[in-house]
Structure formats: structure tokens, C-alpha cells
Amino acid sequence: MSSTPGRAAGPRSWAAFFAWLLVGAAFMVGLLSILTVGVPILLVAVVATVALGLSKRARAGVPGLVSGLAVPLFYVAYLNRSGPGQVCTTTAEVTSCVEQWSPWGWIAAGVVLLVAGAALFARRP
């Protein structure tokens, strides 16, 4: 029985939230880079999930996993900050052009995930 009426097994822990946030970020990086370095990153994320899942205190921060999924999406939005369309850079010796996506979809998805995870964490007793 907990010492505070209406409380769950453990108090909210911001450290646990941020630990889960890192795990969520690792899962999303692994998925976004599955054709290159994604598989080893996903393995690390799975091991971290099991390790955190075994700790009763850390389980209070599970909503951080949802917020963590947003971090790589914000990075992709940053990489495409000059898009959408073809973006060219010129140096003294060479001009290179790349096709960039609109960053707004990435930002919107990131904000939804970040806020959802934080809201879930805040609503936990």
C-alpha cells in the first residue's frame, strides 16, 4: 500500500522520464536509419527498454518514450529547414544541389509526440 492515498506504486520521476525519452529517441533513430546503422541502434534501444522495464521506479517515466520519438523528427525538420524543393549551396570551387522536404510535417509530428508524452506523464498520479 502506498503512503499517499490515490498515488500509484511510485512517484513521478523526471529522471525516469528523460531516460525513457532517450530510449524513444533511439527507437526512432533506429527506424529512420534502418538501412544504415539502424539495426544496432534498435538493439541498444531494446536492451535499454528491458533494463528500464525491470526497474519499478523507472516504469513511472514510460510516457517519456512517446516524447522521445519526437527528438529525431525535430532533427530531420532541422536538416530540411530550407525546403521544400531543390536547395543549392555554392563554395569557391563547387555548387551542389539537394532536394529537401518541407520541414513542417516533421515539426507537426514531433510536437504532437512531445506534447502527448508530456501530457501522459503529467496525468500520472
Residue type, 13: S
Q: Which amino acid is at 106?
A: W
Q: Over the stretch 11-41, which tens digit does the pLDDT of each residue have?
A: 568 899 999 999 999 999 999 999 999 999 9
Q: What is the pLDDT of residue 7?
A: 45
Q: Per the structure block, which three cell numbers stand in for 7?
A: 498515488
Q: Is 98 helix (H, G, I), strand (E, B) or coil?
A: strand
E strand segments, the chain: 85-90, 95-100
Quickly tell me which residue has 539502424 as its cell. 38
Mark the ranges of the chain whose per-residue pLDDT is less than 50. 1-10
